[in-house]
Structure 1
Amino acid sequence: MELKKNPRANVGRNSSIYFAVGLNVMLLLTYLGLEHKTYETEAAKIDILMLTEQLEEDIPITTINIPPPPPPKQVVTQAITIVEDVEEVEETFIESTEIGQDDVIEERVVSVEEVEVEEVEEDIEVPFAVIERVPQFPGCTGTNEELRACFQQKMNEHLQKHFRYPDAAAELDIQGRVFVYFIIDKTGTVSKIKSRGPDKLLETEAERIISLLPKMAPGKQRNRAVGVPYSIPINFKLRQD
């Protein structure tokens, strides 16, 4: 059977190509439309400043009245007159005070007045262990050995009587041994109290106890009152109930 239509007159044979080209053109136009930017234009007004009138104005000339300079000072010249020396001036001669070999030295007796020599008593300190006569605690009598034992017993009694544990140290659980050093001077008074311990609270309490010691009979060395240094440890310890 023969075809009636001409193959060249077939309209749909290239439709897919036309469709693809049209689609690409539409996509391109859409992209250009989205990416296109527009700006608002404002009318700019330019003002021109005319300075011709200001430049043409004449500047007035001002005159400054400057006073004339003062006249130069006149230099007064004095005439110098030479006067002849009429009066004679006597020259003074200064004798030398140095002694030469030919000078004779006068012998003179210099009297020496009597000079009073004042004896200054030195504060002698003798240790408690070697002193001939130990300080006598009130209430102690007997030989030197008995006085020594009585002194130590009275000292222990004094510590037990006046001992008081500091409240602040007890709250902080501060314990330890305090070494107290003092001197029983030649008048029998306790002085120069020093202490060394683990805490200042304990040291203060130990010094307070020693400062309450009574006045004693001073220690003697060769029948002369002397100072006697003494040291004693005070143990601060809390009881564990």
Structure 2
Amino acid sequence: MLGSKLDILKPEWLDVVFNDRNKAYGAYDLRKSNPKNTTKALVIGIAVFVFILSFQTILNFISGFIPKATEKVKITNVVLQPPPPIDKTKPPPPPPEPPKPKVDQVKFPPPVVKPDNEVKEQPPTVKELEVADPGQKTVKGDPNADIKIDEPVGNSDVKQVTEEDPNKIFTAVEQEPTFAGGIEKFYAFLRNNIHYPAVAKENNVQGKVFVSFVVEKDGSLTDIKVVRSLGSGTDEEAMRVLRNSPKWKPGIQNGRPVRVAYTMPISFTLQTDDQ
């Protein structure tokens, strides 16, 4: 008996514990129904847990059998009225009159070479131009008008002129930029100012360094770059000499100076007495 394993939770022990005691007390009923209540609670808990996990699946399954309500679309035929006929005899409305200039404007006819007896319109006199501006027609000015640079005045047919980018770099122009005295003078300037790099002289490096630069409107050289390198300090020396170059005559396009891109080789040659 003592060596056997005792299970005090067996129902047989319940009567031994409550022998000669008040079994009508709630503790006896609780102990007696405890296994049944525990099993019931476990089953209910598992069922609730499984239901929660499968709720969405059940909902999707049920919704597949429920017919969806179809939205009724009402189609209405709309009859468009034809546009009114165009009256070709009626002239179009005139364009809006441009704003008046601030200063009086007198008509200045374009110059045409004709005999004096065939001249119908006389150009404005110098006295008239002292108090008025020349234009395509005579217009009385409005002293209270606002000055608008971007709008034509006096004639609605005048078109605004957009100027070309002043910083544009040209590669070909009507008149190429030149060094004062010609290209031979420029090569003479290079020969007199280039210092042969010691490393290049020691390694007998000879050849040409191709450089590009921009001749500005004032003739100065900017944006100096090496296009084809020779190395051993010759690239740096070529760029240094170009930075110290006197000003060139700028390139000309449409009668005005412009920025022009220029590319040229600078030769590095060792003389016989230097070797």
- TM category (shorter chain) comes to 0.3 to 0.5
Larger radius of gyration: 1
Q: How high is the TM-score relative to the length of structure 2?
A: 0.37
Q: How high is the TM-score relative to the length of structure 1?
A: 0.42
